[in-house]
Every structure is written in C-alpha cells, then in structure tokens.
Amino acid sequence: MQRVSDDDPYLWLEEVTGEPALAWVAERNAETAEALAADPAFAPLKERVRDVMDAADRIPYTVRRGAHLYNFWRDADHVRGVWRRTTLEQYRKDVPEWEVLLDVDALAEAEGEKWVWDGAGVRRPDHDRALVRLSRDGGDAVVVREFDLDTRRFVEDGFRVAEAKTRTGWIDDDTVFVGTDTGPGSLTDSGYPRQVRRWRRGTPVEEAELVFEAGQADVSAWGYHDDTPGFERDFVGRALDFFRSETYLLRPDSTLVRIDVPEDAVAYAHRRHLIVTLKSDWLGQPTGSLLAFDFDAFLAGDRTHEVLFTPDARTALAGHAWTRHHLILETMRDVSTRIEVLTPAPEGGWTRSPLVGVPELSAVSVVDTDPDVSDEYFLDVSGFLQPSGLHRGVIGDDTELLKQAPDRFDAAGLTVRQHFATSPDGTRVPYFVIGPDHAATGPGPTLLYGYGGFEVSLTPSYASVTGRAWLERGGTYVIANIRGGGEYGPDWHQAALGAERPRAFEDFAAVAEDLVTRGVTTPAMLGASGGSNGGLLMGAMLTRRPELFGAIVAQVPLLDMTRFHKLLAGASWIAEYGDPDDEADLPHLRDISPYHRLTADAAYPPVLLMTSTRDDRVHPGHARKTAARLRELGHPVLFHENTGGGHAGAGDNEQAAHNSALVHTFLWQRLAGPAAG
C-alpha cells in the first residue's frame, strides 16, 4: 500500500471538536480502556502513582515576593489547587501556616469552568496586586484578571483580558504592558501577540497605546518594564523565529534603540550590566559563551566585555541567576552540574568561587533568588536515586536544609551509571541507566526516554512516578542525551536542526543498540517513550528502526511534518524543523514525517499514542491521524485522548495519574509479559 499522499484522507480528524472526530476518539478511548484500564494491575498502579502526586510531604517549592514565599499547591483535597503564601519563619517548620490567596477549585465550582492555574505576575515593590492567569482545562490560551492580595479577591473594575495567548506585565500601579488578541492583525501567524500596548487602568484594551509591532510572520512580540531602583527602563522586542529575536530599549519619548547583539543571542539588562549568551561566534568569543558589558557604554558603541563563561567540548552553560551582589553560574560537564559564584567589582572585573560541593550525577538548580534585596538563594539538589533537598543560603554564609523529600520508591539494588554510545558519524552520545546491576540479573524490561530538540537538556532528577511505576517493579529506566538538546550547548542543538534532524534519530537508535550490546535489555524488552518533539522522535523510531523496540509510547506528539505549520502554534517551530511551504525544505520534512513513512509491509512494534483535545500547542490531529493510518494498515496501535489538560496532557493529578498508569501498564504488558520472550 502506498504511503499517505498530499490528498490526506484523515484531514477530518483535524477538526478538534467535530462530531465525527470526537465519536472516533470515543471509540478509540474505549478500546484502550478495555486493553489497559481493565488490566488487574492498572487500578493499584494508578492509586500508587496518585498517592505520590498528592503526598502531603512533597516539597512546596516557593518564589519570594517581598516578605512572603508564594506557592501553588495541589493534593487530593485541592484537585485544581490553591495559590498561597507564608513567611520564611513559618516555612522552616514541618507544617507551615499558609495564607490561602486563591482557591482554584472553589473558583471553578462557582463559575462552572474547569480552570487550571497558569501563574501570576505580582506588582512590585508593594506586592499588593497580581495579574492572575487562568486556563480553561489546561490550554495555552488564558484569561487574565487583576487580583488584590490584601482582600484576596479579584478587582471588580481591574485589568481583565479575555481568553487568548496573552502576555502582560506591570509598569506601575495603573499601567501594564499587554499583548493579546484585539482583533484582526493583532496576532502573528503562530497565534501569539504581534503587538505591544501600554494599557492604562479604566480604558478599553483595544484603545491602549500601541508602542511596538512585530511582523505577521514573526513568532511574537513582547514588552517588559525593569523596575529596579535607579535602573528603571522599558524594553520591547520581537521573536523572529523560535531562536532569533530583536530587543529594543523603549525610551520615554517612545523612540526605539536596538540592543545590537546577534539575532540568535539572548541579551538582557541587569543594573549597570548587559548580559549576553551567545548562540554563535561573536566578538572573538565562541558559541555558548556568557558575556557581560557595561549597558550604557554598549549603547554608545563600546564593545568592551568580560567573559563570564567559555564552553569546551564537555562543558556547557546550564543557566545563571542574580542575587543582589552576585551572579550564580550553573554549568554542566557531561550532564553533571557545577555551581560557581561570580562577583562583579565596582572598578571592573569579576571574581569567582565555588558555591557548594555538588554530588556526581546529580542535578543542582537554583530555584529562586531575590536580586533586588539580598544575596539569598534557594537551591534544589537531587539525583536519580536521591530525593530532592531544598537548601537556603546567603552567599558567604553556610546553607541550611529547609526541606527534604522522603524516598518515594524502593531503590534497593538499583544503581546509576553513565555510558556513551557512538552514533554513526562517530559522535559520542551520553546516556544514563537507572536500574539493577545487569551483569548479575541479565537483560530486563527497559524504558528509554528521549527528547532531542529546542536546546532542551535532560538532566538527572528524582522521578517519583517513574520509580514507583517502573523501577520498583524491576524495570530499568534510561535517559538519552541526544543531539538537538542543550546538554553540550548551542552546537549540540544546532547539529540536529532542519535537514540534520536525522542525527537525533541516529543518536537515539545508537543508545538503543548500545543497551542491547551491554546486556541491559533485548529488543523485545526495550520500550521507548517521548512527548511533543519527543513524540516526533518516537514516530521516527517506529518508522525507521522498528526492529530495535518491543513497544513505543508517543505523548502529545508531532507527527505530520508537512502540515505542522498550519496547525495551532506550529508556525513557531519552522526554525527548528524547516518550512513545508519552502520547496527546499519540503523533501527533508516529508522524509522525517512519521505519518508519511507508514507502510503496510513494515513490522512495527505495538504503539500507544496519547494526546489531549485541549492541547492548543501541538494539535491532537497529529496523534489522531497517525492512529487512524496505523489501524488502516493493520498495525497494532492503541490511542487515548484526554478531553482536557492542554499540552501537559492532564489538568489535575487524577488525569495525570490515569495517563501514567495507562503508559506503564501498556509498557509492562509488552516488555515484561510473555510477548517479551
């Protein structure tokens, strides 16, 4: 049978809420429920997963806003969650007293809407008002409402924006920057704000002053007010594509001054500094470097700079965060984190020193700082078998362990190892293996996870759900750090862009082969999973290297690479994959498009495709059409579509636990059952 042509017979499944499409979804969901949810192991597994998600002794991670630490919390009694705050003194206690600001469950019940929390921007310096974002059932589009933190009520005549992919930010007590849907021409082709408006309280948003406008083909526009005392400035900018942007200083007279850095660099102002992260060589500094300029001198044309970080073949910049007087620098060496403290001197130059000792094969990340006021920082330390510990410190003093998460699964007999596979072009690809000692146990059921796109790094962390649902049952879990990610900086990502995307696929397949060679597993006992861009990776494994796997799971996947740019936010990813409307790009996009590579005569492993009706980022049509095509060709496929949840696939812990139990039941049936041999 021929592959799918340009005359796609399943376009009707792209009608998200079309009656025929939803009827088809209901039939497929029923089949999946019969195959998986009816398994005797399903209900106990779901209960154990839900127990982890709802556990009262989870670490309530916070963000400091003035005197308070803010947290959003979900559990069995707060399915949609509560936004709350406390003081540091209370937070140090085993059971802090929390002031509940907004109960999303109560709001959802009162308004008859399936509200999902999307965050809040708190007004500084008084921290008395917030712009709260709420999503209907988990989509990217939100409504925005002004909220009074003192009365704990929405402001009746305050700032309100109807549902859209909106961006807002405080300027002063009565003014905000806003980008939203105000009618024709206000959104880009990707569905994001094209315009930045300065909106005064009490006036219609449609009449707000237009201060900046991006191009129709750009991804988005944005505005930001820097309210740092003594350094108050306004900035606007546009994302030309997913990786290139332009930033402008918006002067009080409304004139624009371009921050003249490369389009692919990331630049921002911090007090007297301009900080630039390079994605290509510039001023004699290599890709992946972090540079500091004097902001005013830079605007005057001076390009004198300090080099804060230079990468090497094994080390990349992972992130950085400011305290009041210091810069905390996070780097990765072979995907293991290192932390340094950099301190700018008033007369110029920077000093550096280590912050704390970091355990090998661990993830250390800065959770929060208070850059306007103090040198306080919050640090999370974890590992694959090491539950998170939240530390607080003030640079120059000892740290304190504020919170320690308990063990969530039995790790007895489990080890963590890092290996390197060799891709066909000779590239060494790191991967982590978490599981038993296979030299003693022999091959076993193994789950290989990957992403490989958008410069996203997969770093060590304690995965409670994976521990309970997979490791504790005797499975092995593997994370592949393939090209397309950011584990070795921008070059690692750019090596798999556009027509070079197959390098990511080859890397992942090389890891799979290496696992078999090392005796960790066998093809019949090896499963693979990934979501979103990782779902494209799963589609590639299904259609390119099906012999390597006993089962494949693709969640909220991207699978039709000839139409992705026409669906929802897809146009914003052209810089990652290529443009289907460009004759130069279409051949490689058809070649990497799993939907178009499906044939009747291939021997595909069983596949589970999962998506969400409310995913307004990656269109559910990708998974729907691929499932329909696989069924037509007679291949084993299960399909599950959650009616809510957005791109996360789940809007609450009940949905998330159900989805996780489906995935792990499917994999265990195929990889640990009789079919695995």
CA angle (117 as vertex; 115, 122 as ends), nearest 5: 130
Count of beta carbons in the 10 Å neighbourhood of residue 282: 18
596 as an active site residue: the answer is no
Report the alpha-carbon distance of residue 330 to residue 337 in Å, rounded.
7
**Cα dihedral sign for 198, 199, 204, 206?**
positive
- Number of other CB atoms surrounding residue 227 within 10 Å: 17
Q: Element (H or E) spanning 29, and its range?
A: helix 19-32
What DSSP element (H or E) covers 677?
A: none
Instruction: Provide the 10 A C-beta neighbour count for residue 455.
Output: 19
- The order of strands in the sheet holding 245-250 is 220-226, 233-239, 245-250, 256-258
Q: Cis omega before residue 636 (within 30°)? A: no
Q: Strand (E) positions, 607-648? A: 607-612, 637-642
Catalytic, out of 532, 593, 612, 660? 532
Beta partners for 323?
Answer: none
The rounded Cα 640 to chain-centroid distance in angstroms is 22
- Tokens linked to 174: 């009565």
Strands 637-642 and 607-612: parallel
Angstrom distance (rounded) from CA 516 to CA 527: 12
- In the annotation, is 532 catalytic? yes
Provide the 3-class DSSP secondary structure of residue 336. strand
- The pair of three-digit structure tokens given for residue 22, joined into one six-digit string: 């939803």
Report CA torsion sign: 493, 336, 656, 468: positive
Q: Who's near 425: CB < 8 A, 6+ residues apart?
A: 503, 506
Active-site entry in 326, 596, 647, 664: 647
Residues acting as catalytic residues:
532, 647
